[in-house]
Amino acid sequence: MRSIRLLMFRLVRSAVIVRRVYSVPEHITMFSAGAVAVGAVYPAIMAHTGGQGIPCPLRALTGVPCPFCGLTTATVALAHGQWSVAAATSPLVCLVALMVTGTAPVLAARAAGMVSLPRPASDHARRRITRVMYVIAALNWVFELHRYGFA
SS (H, E, C) 46-94: HHHCCCCCCCCHHHHHHCCCCCCCCHHHHHHHHHCCCHHHHHHHCHHHH
Residue 98 lies in a domain: yes
Where residue 138 falls among pLDDT bands split at 50, 70, 90? very high
Residue 108 has pLDDT above 70, yes or no: yes
Q: Is residue 18 part of a domain?
A: no
Read off the amino acid at residue 29: T
Is residue 5 in a domain?
A: no
Q: In angstroms, rounded to a whole number, what is the distance separating the alpha carbons of residues 39 and 36?
A: 5
Q: Do 76 and 4 contact (CB within 8 A), yes or no?
A: no
Residue 115 lies in a domain: yes
Four-residue CA torsion sign, 74, 79, 80, 84: positive
Contact 71, 79 (CB under 8 A): no
Q: How confident is the model at residue 142 (pLDDT cuts 50, 70, 90)?
A: very high
Q: Is 56 contained in some domain?
A: yes
**pLDDT for residue 2 is more than 50:** no
Give domain status of residue 105, yes or no: yes
* 140: confidence class by pLDDT, cuts 50, 70, 90: very high
pLDDT at res. 134 = 93
- Mean pLDDT calculated for residue range 64-76: 86
Amino acid symbol at 75: T
Query: Which one is predicted more confidently, 1 or 52?
Result: 52
Span 15-62, pLDDT tens digits: 555 566 677 777 888 888 888 888 788 888 777 767 666 778 888 899
Residue with the larger pLDDT of the pair 102 and 8? 102
On whether residue 4 sits in a domain, the answer given is no
Number of separate domains in the chain: 1
> Does some domain include residue 132?
yes
Which structural domain, as residue segments, surrounds residue 104? Answer: 23-147
Split at pLDDT 50, 70, 90, the class of 71 is confident
